[in-house]
Structure 1
Amino acid sequence: MNIFLWIVQAVLAAMFGMAGVMKATQPKDKLADRLPWVADFSPATVRFIGVVELAGALGLILPAATGIAPIFTPLAATGLAGTMLLAALTHARRKEPAAIAFNAVLLALATVVAWGRFGPYAL
């Protein structure tokens, strides 16, 4: 199970890391082509979401891998799960069911990591 959790952590970190860098560094106009929801938010909010996702991605890997404050790994997973819950609510308001399904998958994976790392497979 520990290996499974590491794989899920790596996949989530890669996905959130790429998404976070994209949202934190690209202008809102450029993001609007691929992410229509950004039209509903200010550029500062979109950048904030990107920074949160990037921090969560780093938090999934670095504390557990280095052994320095490993409690931050399940906390990062919990934070990313909350981010996906808020994202799903945004997509529900915009009536985007495909995006909700994607958010639900990421939410479930982040929840599994949080459960495993807080509980029986803590580092």
Structure 2
Amino acid sequence: MELAYWIVAGLLAAFYLYAGGMKVARSKEQLQPMMGWVDRVPMPLVRTIGVLEILGAAGLILPPLTGVAAWLAVAASIGLLLIQVGGIAVHLSRGEARLIGLNIALLITAAATTWLATTWL
């Protein structure tokens, strides 16, 4: 279970570190081609989502790695799962049901990470 956690959590953390970093560092115009929803969301909220994604990525890796407050990995994976629930809701509200495939995959991965974290930690 430990190896499975590190593989799944590592992949999920890498994705969210990248995606969150883009939301924090890039302008609305730079994000628009890959994230069409940023046209209707205030940039402070986009930046907040990016920071939460980065914190979630760190929460998946650092607590279990250091052995300090390892329960934070469970909290981080639940938080990332909730971000995807929000992402699915945004896409559906915009009539973009065809675009939720990645959101569903990330939601399932976050759920698996939560389960692995609760069985291993």
TM-score (norm. length: structure 1): 0.93
Residue of structure 2 equivalent to 1:22? 22
Residue of structure 2 equivalent to 1:121? 120
Could you tell me how far apart the structure 2 residues matched to 1:57 and 1:98 are?
A: 26
Could you tell me how far apart the structure 2 residues matched to 1:49 and 1:99 are?
A: 19
Residue of structure 1 equivalent to 2:39? 39
Could you tell me how far apart the structure 1 residues matched to 2:55 and 2:85 are?
A: 17
Residue of structure 1 equivalent to 2:104? 104
Q: Which amino acid aligns with 2:76?
A: A
Structure with bigger RCO (C-alpha 8 Å, 6+ apart): 2
TM-score (norm. length: structure 2): 0.95
Q: CA deviation at 1:95?
A: 2.0
Residue of structure 2 equivalent to 1:56? 56
Runs (5+) with no aligned partner, structure 1? none
Runs (5+) with no aligned partner, structure 2? none
Q: CA deviation at 1:105?
A: 0.8
Q: CA deviation at 1:121?
A: 1.4
Aligned CA RMSD, in angstroms, stands at 1.0
